[in-house]
Amino acid sequence: MIDVNLTGVFNTVEIAIPSMIERGAGGAIVLTSSTAGINGVGGPSRGGLGYTASKHGVVGLMRSYANALAPHRIRVNSVHPTGVNTPMVVNDVMQQWLAADPSVADAMTNALPVDMVEPVDISNAILWLVSDDARYVTGVTLPVDAGFTNKK
């Protein structure tokens, strides 16, 4: 979990930085975390704990990179989706996991009356963060979560 969700993000950003700095035109990097990156969710299982820890780590990377890259006019932010209607969430294993502990399923509900958001909702947030409309937005955690975080 840590290798993919955190080390993978670190390695990807590290590869992108030199060419962005060399180009000298600034830019934007958006890291994908999760509502688990700004809330203590995921349950007490090893998988849940690893997932939550890795997504919190992404926030730490984002904030550190935002400070380090600001002199180069490179903005760094993170998005934090609730459940997204993708195969990562919509699969038999996830459904079995949620069914095994109804308290986890109850704790993962959104404030707005939707079970999940759509992938395009996350894409739209990222498009805004990389656009000139967000040219002075850096170092922020942007929940795209149907009110999940606010509900906590």
DSSP-derived 3-state class of residue 141: strand
* Cβ neighbours around 115 below 10 Å, total: 13
Query: Strands, E, within the chain: which ranges?
Result: 27-32, 74-81, 141-144
Annotated catalytic residue within 35, 38, 51, 144 = 51
Whether 51 is a known active-site residue: answer yes
Distance in angstroms (rounded) separating the CA atoms of residues 19 and 56: 27
| Residues written for the chain | 152
Alpha carbon distances (Å) from 152 to 49, 63, 107, 114, 136: 18, 23, 9, 16, 28
**Annotated catalytic sites, by residue?**
51
